[in-house]
């Protein structure tokens, strides 16, 4: 996929997002889950576009692999901390008598704590 087609896809998606958000706003339902999910996907795609500019060679060279590796570890740690804070807030505000609070949020926190060590173990087994 060329850079021009990637930019066109992002622009088309942005226009679609604006139209759908405008129609939801007219119906009185501005912050729906679909709008939030579409906004997050567009934001992530835009950052991918501006970071790599659709250059696969830059992503695969040594500096690109270092950037991907370091940013993955940083985002993993931020995600784990955010899930922990959300779980604590949810437990204190909405489920003060429940030992686990929101079970699905607690399971997500546990998965985030286990995911990186397990993937590192599996990757290290490949080199042994």
Question: For the chain, what is the domain count?
Answer: 2
Residues 61 and 114 in one domain: yes
Q: pLDDT at position 2, please?
A: 65
Secondary structure, 3-state, the chain: CCHHHHHHHHHHHHHHHHHHHHHHHHHCCCCCHHHHHHHHHHHHHHHHHHHHCCCHHHHHCHHHHHHHHHHHHHHHHHHHHHHHHHHHHHHHHCCCCCCCCCHHHHHHHHHHHHHHHHHHHHHHHHCC
Domain containing 26: what range? 1-54
Going by pLDDT thresholds of 50, 70 and 90, the confidence category of residue 57 is confident
Residues 82 and 41 in one domain: no
Residues 39 and 75 in one domain: no
Residues 17 and 37 in one domain: yes
Mean pLDDT of 101-127: 83
Mean pLDDT of 86-115: 84
Residues 103 and 121 in one domain: yes
Residues 63 and 78 in one domain: yes
Residues 19 and 69 in one domain: no
Going by pLDDT thresholds of 50, 70 and 90, the confidence category of residue 54 is low
Q: pLDDT at position 119, please?
A: 82
Q: Provide the whole-model pTM.
A: 0.66
Mean pLDDT of 10-38: 78
Mean pLDDT value across the chain: 80
Residues 113 and 62 in one domain: yes
Residues 75 and 110 in one domain: yes
Residues 34 and 17 in one domain: yes
CB of 127 within 8 A of CB of 105? Answer: no
Report residue 55 as tokens.
Answer: 């250059």
Q: pLDDT at position 81, please?
A: 92
Going by pLDDT thresholds of 50, 70 and 90, the confidence category of residue 30 is low
How far apart CA 74 and CA 78 sit, in angstroms, is 6
Share of the chain above pLDDT 90, in %: 3
Residues 76 and 118 in one domain: yes
């Amino acid at each position: 996929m060329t850079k021009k087609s990637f930019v066109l896809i992002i622009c088309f998606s942005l226009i679609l997002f604006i139209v759908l958000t405008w129609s939801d706003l007219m119906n009185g339902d501005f912050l729906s889950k679909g709008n939030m999910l579409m906004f997050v996907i567009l934001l992530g795609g835009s950052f991918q576009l501006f970071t790599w500019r659709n250059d696969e060679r830059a992503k695969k060279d040594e500096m690109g692999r270092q950037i991907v590796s370091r940013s993955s570890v940083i985002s993993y740690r931020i995600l784990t901390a955010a899930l922990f804070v959300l779980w604590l807030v949810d437990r204190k505000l909405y489920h003060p008598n429940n030992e686990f609070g929101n079970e699905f949020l607690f399971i997500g926190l546990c998965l985030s704590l286990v995911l990186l060590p397990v993937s590192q173990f599996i990757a290290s087994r490949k080199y042994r």
